[in-house]
Amino acid sequence: MDRQLENQVHLVDRGRRTIFGKYEMGRQLGQGTFAKVYHGKNIVTNESVAIKVIDKEQVTKACMMDQIQREISVMRLVRHPNIVELKEVMATRCRIYFVMEYAKGGELFAKVSRGKLKEDLARKYFQQLTSAVDFCHSRGVYHRDLKPENLLLDENEDLKVSDFGLSALPEQFRQDGLLHTQCGTPAYVAPEVLMKKGYDGAKADIWSCGVILFVLLAGYLPFQDENLMRMYRKVFKGEFEFPPWFVSDVKRLISKLLVVDPVKRISISGIMKVPWFQKGFSRPVAVSIEEPNEKVEKALGLVASPKSPRFFNAFEFISSMSSGFDLSNLFETKRRSGSLFTSKCSAPAIMAKLESAAKKLNFKVCVKEFRVKMQGTAEGRKGKLAVMAEVFQVAPEVAVVEFSKCSGDTLEYVKFCEEDVRPALRDIVWRWQGENKCCP
């Protein structure tokens, strides 16, 4: 089957290369460490696309397959007019193909490198960037590498956020509710990220937006120095100077964006209330979440079929189920507790019950290994609610089921757990987390 898939990438019509009989490959647009990006064309519709070709062997050797999988997951979650659309993912034995929206205008960096932008154009790009970032955050996605090189322009000169390879999802938060991976481009990274301490992904993205706004209007970086450590010291102190052509409204906004203390840094809702930002702004209409593609994940070699659930450490189990004490700091995994319950039913019986309950609640269901993803059909305050339930094994006769929110509004998730999940699963629950009373 792998050889058959590989043969679908072939040469036709005197060197014209096609993949899977669907897309014609054109000139190379760019190249990274593990991937090359080509201009492509849909053979049926004649639509231009960008095709990112990733060498599977290279990313596997570099232990980056999880990052590729995360990038796919993220780009499915964020469908927005100012975010590059992932149209399709295909894979062969050797390569992974991301078929994406083609941004004809290239990188915003190329435009800025020629000099500062006019205020109205810089405001337009900043509005579109802020709108896209706000949408990402509402879906639990934090980009973590915002910079002009990752902002593309389409044929209408509208901004498109790209490159979600370093982005974070809610499951990457530790128990303290913060992210801890140091990543991003130094000149655009928030001071709290550089300090290698826990940080709020949303606040870190807002800092990067502030640096980008400064660059658009100034034509150069607010924090720059030939010596990297001296540049870091400027970032840590928030030391920068405005050029003389900056108007007072812009100075006030950037002064609220580039605040060293993330707690005091302006929020996106605060940005959108600023009069300078509001000028000519209209919020674009975003699109809902797309379901995972099981065939793609199998092609990537990411789908396994274990015969039993993952093991849940007994001490971690005691800690998570007890309301009297917390042992979570003893474990490197630092599980971020969601809604947990124990059950004396077998794992297959629990899985069947979870799937049945979700369908009765009118949720779409995706079963993978010993995890059940439940996708709501109704649009909530922050999009459609998506919940993951995973079954763990503690002992031969005891299982733990953990619920976590994948996307959607937190209050809607809590309500779902309390009013829908608990009554529906009453007959398989032995005891809920933090409750001393066992169910019959």
Residue 52 annotated as lining a ligand binding site: yes
Beta pairing partners, 342: 400, 431
Largest CA distance in the chain: 74
Let me know how long the chain is: 440
For 390-400, letters b (16+ CB in 10 Å) and e give bbbbbeeebbb
Nearest to 396 by CA among 307, 318, 311, 335: 311
Strands laid side by side in the 23-31 sheet: 9-12, 16-19, 23-31, 35-42, 48-55, 95-101, 86-91
Nearest to 271 by CA among 202, 224, 178: 202
Q: How far apart are CA 267 and CA 72, in angstroms?
A: 27
Q: State the catalytic residue, choosing from 66, 120, 134, 145.
A: 145
C-beta separation of 109 from 202 below 8 A:
no
Q: How far apart are CA 123 and CA 216, in angstroms?
A: 9
Catalytic site includes residue 145: yes
Q: How far apart are CA 350 and CA 132, in angstroms?
A: 39
Binding residues, by number, are 52
Binding residues for ATP, by number, are 52
Residues noted as catalytic: 145
